[in-house]
Structure 1
Amino acid sequence: MSNQICCVVGCTNTYKNTTNVSFFRFPGKPHEILQKNKWIQAVKRKSSNNQPWKPNQNSRICSEHFIDGKPSKHPNSPSFYPTIFPKIYKQNVPAQESVSRFNRLQKRKSCNTIISTNSRISNNLTVSNELVCPDVVEHTEDKSTQTSMNLINNSFEFSCVFSNNNVNTQANIVGLDSIYFKLKMVDKCEGSVNYDILEYFSGFKSLKNESHLISLCGVNFETFNIFLTYIDDQNYSKKSKEDRLLLSLVKLKLGISFTSISIFFNLHRSTCSRIFKNVLKMLAVATKKFVFWPSKKSIVSTLPQSFKQHYPNCRVIIDCTEIKTEQPPHVDQRAFMYSHYKSAFTCKFLVGIAPCGMIIFVSKAYGGRASNSFITNDSGLLNLLEPGDQVMADKGFPGIKTSVNEKNSILVMPPFILMEFLQKMKL
Structure 2
Amino acid sequence: MVKRCCWGTCNTDSRYPDRMRGVQFFPFPKPRAHLEKCVLWIKLCGRPHSQLNTSNVNKHTYICSKHFVDGKPSGQHPHPVDAAVYADVLHPPVAPIRKRLRHNLVNSSPPALKTTAVAVKIESQEDIFPKSEPEERDEESPVADRIRQLEQRNAELLQEMASLKRLVETLQSPLQQTTPEALHYCGIPNYSYYCTGFTYQQFNSLCEVFGVPNSDSDSVPRENIPFTYKCSDPQIAKMPLRQQLLLVLMKLRQDFDMKDLAYRFQVGVESVCTVFTSWIAYMSSTLAQRPMWPHRDVISEHTPLTFKSRFPTTLALLGFAELKIERPNAFLVQNQIWTTDALKSLIAVDPRGAVLYVSALFTGAEQDVFRQCGVIPLLQTLLERGHLVNGDGLIADERFRLDGDVEKLGLKLNVPPCVESKKQMSAFSSRKSAAQHQKHVERVIDKIKTFKIVSGRIPNSMLSNMNEIWFVVSMLANFQSGHH
Name the TM tier (shorter chain). 0.3 to 0.5
Give TM-score scaled by structure 1 length: 0.48
Question: Which structure carries more strand by proportion?
Answer: 1
Give TM-score scaled by structure 2 length: 0.42
Bigger RCO (CA 8 Å, 6+ sep): 2
Max Rg structure: 2
